[in-house]
Structure 1
Amino acid sequence: MEESKTETNLYRGHVAKRLTREEIDKMLAQNSRLVPEFSAMQLEKNAKKYWDLFYKRNDTRFFKDRHWTTREFEELLDLEKEHGVLLEVGCGVGNLVYPLLEDGLKIKQIYACDFSPRAIDFVKSHKLYNPEKIIAFQTDVTIENCFSEIHIPVNVVTLVFVMSAIHPEKFERVIKNLYTVLHTDGVVLFRDYGLYDMAQLRFKPGHKIAENFYMRQDGTRTYYFSVDEVQNMFQSAGFETISCLYVERRTVNLKESIDVPRIFVQAKFKKS
């Protein structure tokens, strides 16, 4: 059967997944009932509250520690060799920073920031927290001067499952802020949800806010990226692309008989 114009648009610029007929119908059904404009505005207004409630409910148990980061991003290992400075944006409860320290990586200085004050409290309560080495602070990375706590140039910024929680209209401001805080030749390490990831296809009508942007049941939000979009955003802000690609993984939980494919965008960008 010949593809309609709408169906063709669903495939464009994406090579990780070609949608089935059933998946196309799910995507089109999402457009039948969008989040009302007023509700969408309230979600934006109360974004910090929803993330604080998220950490209140889940404590430190929700996200698994990310022991995979040095396998995917060798630039983290270079921090030790070059006595570099790390900034983790959207640090949550420390699921990226503390595994690095547990694995023995010696980093000169670590900055860790999050939108949620409660998340920062968890970071500071960790047994490995050392205020002389780790400066953890609450901030909103979508506004100017958000990194006022940082007084030295940063060599590596990690941006792992962070941008997807931010309103798309604010992506440009976030990337400009990262460019400002980075040292010359500093890099941003990016990983986030890819377009047509399993989680995106599961949203029911009434959860879509805008194109590829959705509301979860708990009031937090998530966006799904294409590689072209990510690369264009960073290059427009003055970054040079080192790599930008889709990575396909699986979420496996044998206890609950879960084994599903996932799609992420993984990228590295260098400050020119």
Structure 2
Amino acid sequence: MDEDYVRQAQAALAKDTSTVPKFWVQKYRQEAAKNWDKFYKRNTTNFFKDRHWVDREFEELRYCEGSDTKKILEVGCGVGNFIFPLLEINPGLFVYACDFSPRAVEMVKSNAQYDTTRCHAFVCDLTANKLSDTMPPATIDLVSMIFVLSAIPPEKMADAIGNIYQVMAPGGVVLFRDYGIYDAAQLRFKPGSKLDENHYVRQDGTMSYYFTQDQLEVLFVQAGFQTVNVEYVIRKTVNKKENIDVDRVFVQAKFRRAD
């Protein structure tokens, strides 16, 4: 990242020294699934755009003529913005899709494109439910984690990653993108939104964490993964009508199960 941008971001964040009271921190963490379920009740399928970009960023998702069917697990599937565009362009995939919001999973299943011969959606809290209860251990070729880990309380992130590790086949790869430190969304939080360092709560009760490359890599390596790559991805967001010109900062990575 640009050094001037980093210095400005650090100065802005340093001004916010207040944190949410411990009672509310605990409440937000305990009610994470409930608050995301409310989110999908309010917004249904209208909030997130379909992710048509994922196969451009991750070549593992591109279709290879004549290749065997790959099994992919999408964690935090939401209402299917990743699943359905991907199944449309790549007939060589079977997708397991899970979310800890029952409402979101029902929206996936009610989509006209939902085909049980090509995908299976189910409710799962990665920090509490074993993925291996739904799919055989060591069988998943690819795992998609797109803006998911940031919604999990930091103290439970290792549990979620370990859960994923158990169902991945040897050589399987996690495809990861999430919010990076100094992202414009982090800088926009008002005082009184900070739960802990780089961890915030939105007005609707959903939480978001902002990762450094090093923090992310440590989490996966400690769970047994090998690092393929980890990098910051900077995307400029410009909206002249609303006078918005900001830097979105994401962390993009790949981690492989070696054994």
Q: Which range, TM-score by smaller chain? A: over 0.9
Within the alignment, does 1:167 sit opposite 2:153 as a pair? yes
Q: Deviations over 1:19-38 (max 9, x none)?
A: 4665444312222x210000
Q: Secondary structure at the match of 1:30?
A: coil
- Distance in 1, matches of 2:223 and 2:3, equals 28
- Distance in 2, matches of 1:239 and 1:183, equals 12
**Matched-pair contact (CA < 8 Å) for 2:127–2:159:** yes
Within the alignment, does 1:140 sit opposite 2:125 as a pair? yes
- Distance in 2, matches of 1:64 and 1:119, equals 15
Within the alignment, does 1:231 sit opposite 2:217 as a pair? yes
Letter in 1 for 2:94: Q
Q: Mark the CA change 1:47 to 1:133 in structure 2 (over 3 Å): closer, same or farther.
A: same
Single out whichever of 75-84 and 139-148 deviates more from structure 2.
75-84
Q: Alignment identity in percent?
A: 49
Alignment-derived partner of residue 179 in structure 1: 165
Q: Mark the CA change 1:213 to 1:16 in structure 2 (over 3 Å): closer, same or farther.
A: farther
Q: Mark the CA change 1:114 to 1:17 in structure 2 (over 3 Å): closer, same or farther.
A: farther
Within the alignment, does 1:129 sit opposite 2:109 as a pair? no
Q: Mark the CA change 1:175 to 1:137 in structure 2 (over 3 Å): closer, same or farther.
A: same
Within the alignment, does 1:222 sit opposite 2:208 as a pair? yes
Within the alignment, does 1:201 sit opposite 2:187 as a pair? yes
Letter in 2 for 1:37: K
**Matched-pair contact (CA < 8 Å) for 2:9–2:182:** no
Post-superposition offset of 1:255: 4.9
Within the candidate set 30, 38, 58, 1:73 is matched to 58
Single out whichever of 150-159 and 161-170 deviates more from structure 2.
150-159
Post-superposition offset of 1:257: 4.2
Q: Mark the CA change 1:223 to 1:120 in structure 2 (over 3 Å): closer, same or farther.
A: same
**Matched-pair contact (CA < 8 Å) for 2:63–2:91:** no
Q: Deviations over 1:173-197 (max 9, x none)?
A: 1111111010010000000000111
Within the alignment, does 1:84 sit opposite 2:70 as a pair? yes
Alignment-derived partner of residue 271 in structure 1: 257
Letter in 1 for 2:85: P
RMSD (Å) for aligned C-alpha atoms? 1.8
Q: Mark the CA change 1:45 to 1:196 in structure 2 (over 3 Å): closer, same or farther.
A: same
The total of aligned residue pairs comes to 256
- Distance in 1, matches of 2:159 and 2:54, equals 26
Q: Secondary structure at the match of 1:65?
A: coil
Q: Mark the CA change 1:21 to 1:185 in structure 2 (over 3 Å): closer, same or farther.
A: closer
Q: Mark the CA change 1:145 to 1:17 in structure 2 (over 3 Å): closer, same or farther.
A: farther
Letter in 2 for 1:63: F
Within the candidate set 231, 244, 249, 1:258 is matched to 244
**Matched-pair contact (CA < 8 Å) for 2:232–2:251:** yes
Within the alignment, does 1:46 sit opposite 2:22 as a pair? no
**Matched-pair contact (CA < 8 Å) for 1:197–1:264:** yes
Letter in 2 for 1:116: S
- Distance in 1, matches of 2:135 and 2:128, equals 15
Alignment-derived partner of residue 98 in structure 1: 84
Within the candidate set 211, 223, 232, 1:246 is matched to 232
- Distance in 1, matches of 2:49 and 2:59, equals 20
Q: Secondary structure at the match of 2:106?
A: helix
Alignment-derived partner of residue 115 in structure 1: 100
- Distance in 1, matches of 2:82 and 2:110, equals 15
TM-score by length of 1: 0.88
**Unaligned 5+ runs, structure 2:** none
Post-superposition offset of 1:76: 1.0
**Matched-pair contact (CA < 8 Å) for 2:76–2:98:** yes
